[in-house]
Structure 1
């Protein structure tokens, strides 16, 4: 292959060809193979039956077959090369039987009959339209393949280096790092009985978000003596505060989705010791399938760190998790998780994940590993949009009016409000407080706070009327 790194991520590649094309023409059209492989001293060997196929053979009869690309030995025939093969180190290539003979309909066909072979096949219906569609969808890829066709190995390596540099440029810009450092002031380390157990971040008011598994025991009860420390960037404590769990969710629902969050409330007198950080709910964003991200937290119980990395979209997760033997929820292919590769492992659960627009989009929660080895192949986080929905629903149902008021003081993202409204419409009596409840729960509240709560519930009690489309 022109790109030697392909062998590290794939054992097989798919090659497409039109009926009537030769193997050589299809591989040349593909653009990923070295020019050397397209010469006459190479051939294909079927991975199942060991049959050989010339590079000049038509592709028509090779559909859905798998081959090794082999080189003819200088002082031997193809059959000698075939019989001298041994099993690969991976153990997934059987040694062909020496009695196997080349397919006379393929490898022994004279190349002079190529024109007659082409003429008996009909083109794929609408193939030109399909080709134009593919080219329109992968225009940039096609241009790159054309540009790389005649590149030397050195030039190709330089081109890859330039592309990698472009994709990571953002993560090295001073303005981006400065902005992430500012956002990082809202990140704290979570400790249980004085020992570092995870990370968290100030979400709104005096409330901190972290993972449920960080602060809950096996019975899902809050652990004893939970504290958080902000600005822990040196090996000296900075701002240590006592906290308590006011809402949490640690379970796997019927659909197989993982719920793993806990909302902590600072117990200290904030007038005497205000939190020197800004709530991140105002910097709320939605997860996207691709793009750069930055995680800020306390991995391995260490001082605050950040890790710029890239989102792994759903369509590419299988390349990472196919080696994973067993896993517990969440499912690696769950659409409700955000996946990426990161160096943040133990102790970083609860870290905020920011996108390249400096919006916090999810909360880092764990990773999928290989077998019994704690070597992660893919890390994941839970979207903040889903967590925010679950927090609001729980604190409303449990009538935690002070927490709700502190939360709705900040603008709730429209997507979150719309999703909650859909849930409320299925069971409105369980969610919306009655007028009597509102009066009792807000008796000591200011008129401003009462108006905020009424406006909040008023939105969910509205019904969308169908539009009159008659003229």
Structure 2
């Protein structure tokens, strides 16, 4: 049987969009005919067969027979002499005991479509059809290729569960060498700022993927490499060091996959939501301009909790609907990763590490289950800048060398941004001494490292400005940020 597929609308440029091409099996729907003509009428029993398909001839009575379709009908009939035709093989089969559910869905059909038209400001039935096609295209675009799935599986090996005194508390990932990056609020309760040490034992496991399998717990050193958490919610990280046995093979670090986030597009979060087995959640970045609408949509769909949402996020702590659209420092999205997922790596559609999942505007929903209006991640570039500055201050040559070993244009951009940070020029002298007496560092390496450190202070030496602001902070989060962290650590 010959099948002719015609495009009703030529496309010269896709602008990065994913389009889904549809075609009727036989005949077709004319360009002027709407498949969603009247949303006021609910589907009828005629939907027991696919549109345009009958069990006998494969032709719908809605499609009049023409010489071409008559020829197709004859070919289909002849093909059926030796066996069932293609159309007959694709008949619908009724699901047993489904009539009640079917009637319920039909009764809700018109209301749901009207709700969609109001929410998305759609006027014509064809607008609804196009919206559904575009949305479907988005859903099928990201992380469906086998190549990407395999790559995500490789990257997931570097994601770990953070365990404090035998109790799982959050997620982390291997940044490079033996250094684990997670959110500061994951270990905040046991971090002592004066000593810069963890007050309780911490371990991580990279292989908690099955409840029935044993895991290997790797201890973390009590001394914290870098830690910072401010009251703006834009800085929230802790860099920990593994005291791993030399015989233990660690996964690859994720720093070499680092890149900068886009304002929109698909992402994938890998972590331990609810402190359970390792999972992934593909979702989409909510662009700045769409955040207010996303909040309104969630509030409307959860009206039974309107008083909780209103008191917590629309009144007491400032209207997040107006604050979020102007917040360019965080990446927002809608995910199912809540408690236990803080510290999870966030990857873009190219499987590049762009951010660290941090928190969300959460509240208690049905059956006391955690729900969230919107979630966010902190771009990794900001975190890396602060880690480098703290590593300089704390004379952690091993950490700085780890950055030097990961040469990429993305890291070069981060280093350029570090140049603009205010740095105390007395640190340069301290590092010269550190390198001079570091017996494990070759002369060549010392020269490379001096070049690396030197750029941190070029600006200070040129201006003669004594700068501050390098100290690691342990500031408690306040206001809405404190509640976000508490609910989502």
Q: 1:241 is matched with which residue?
A: 218
Flag the 1:193–1:434 CA change in 2: closer, same or farther, 3 A.
closer
Flag the 1:9–1:442 CA change in 2: closer, same or farther, 3 A.
farther
1:293 and 2:267 correspond? yes
Shift of 1:242: 0.2
1:229 and 2:201 correspond? no
- 1:258 aligns to what SS in structure 2? coil
Shift of 1:419: 0.6
Structure 2 gaps of 5+ residues are 1-108, 297-313, 461-489
**Greater Rg over alpha carbons, structure:** 1
Flag the 1:360–1:33 CA change in 2: closer, same or farther, 3 A.
same
Q: Is the 8 A contact 2:348 2:354 kept in 1?
A: yes
Flag the 1:458–1:5 CA change in 2: closer, same or farther, 3 A.
farther
Q: 2:331 is matched with which residue?
A: 338
1:358 and 2:335 correspond? no
Q: Is the 8 A contact 1:317 1:333 kept in 2?
A: no
Aligned partners of 2:112, 2:437: CA distance in 1, in Å?
63
Shift of 1:316: 1.5
Q: Is the 8 A contact 1:397 1:430 kept in 2?
A: no
1:314 and 2:291 correspond? no
Aligned CA RMSD, in angstroms, stands at: 3.6
Q: Is the 8 A contact 2:182 2:237 kept in 1?
A: yes
Shift of 1:375: 1.6
* Structure with the bigger percentage of helix: 2
Aligned partners of 1:447, 1:195: CA distance in 2, in Å?
45
**What pairs with 1:32-431 in structure 2 (closer than 5 Å)?**
32-34=122-124, 156-157=128-129, 160-161=132-133, 163-217=135-189, 222-235=198-211, 236-244=213-221, 246-247=223-224, 253=230, 256-269=232-245, 272-321=246-295, 326=317, 333-370=326-363, 374-411=370-407, 413-424=411-422, 427=423, 429-431=425-427
Q: 1:70 is matched with which residue?
A: none
Aligned partners of 1:178, 1:10: CA distance in 2, in Å?
38
Q: 1:452 is matched with which residue?
A: 448
Flag the 1:418–1:377 CA change in 2: closer, same or farther, 3 A.
same
| TM-score normalized by the length of structure 1 | 0.60
Aligned length: 323
Aligned partners of 1:366, 1:435: CA distance in 2, in Å?
36
Q: Is the 8 A contact 1:204 1:406 kept in 2?
A: yes
Q: Spell out, residue by residue over 1:87-132, the C-alpha distance to the aligned partner (whole angstroms, 9 max, x if none).
A: xxxxxxxxxxxxxxxxxxxxxxxxxxxxxxxxxxxxxxxxxxxxxx
Structure 1 gaps of 5+ residues are 15-31, 36-154, 465-471
Structure of greater relative contact order (alpha carbons < 8 Å, 6+ residues apart): 2
Shift of 1:397: 1.0
| TM-score normalized by the length of structure 2 | 0.58
Flag the 1:263–1:9 CA change in 2: closer, same or farther, 3 A.
farther
- 2:421 aligns to what SS in structure 1? helix
Q: Is the 8 A contact 1:350 1:364 kept in 2?
A: yes
Shift of 1:4: 7.0
Q: 2:41 is matched with which residue?
A: none
Shift of 1:183: 0.7
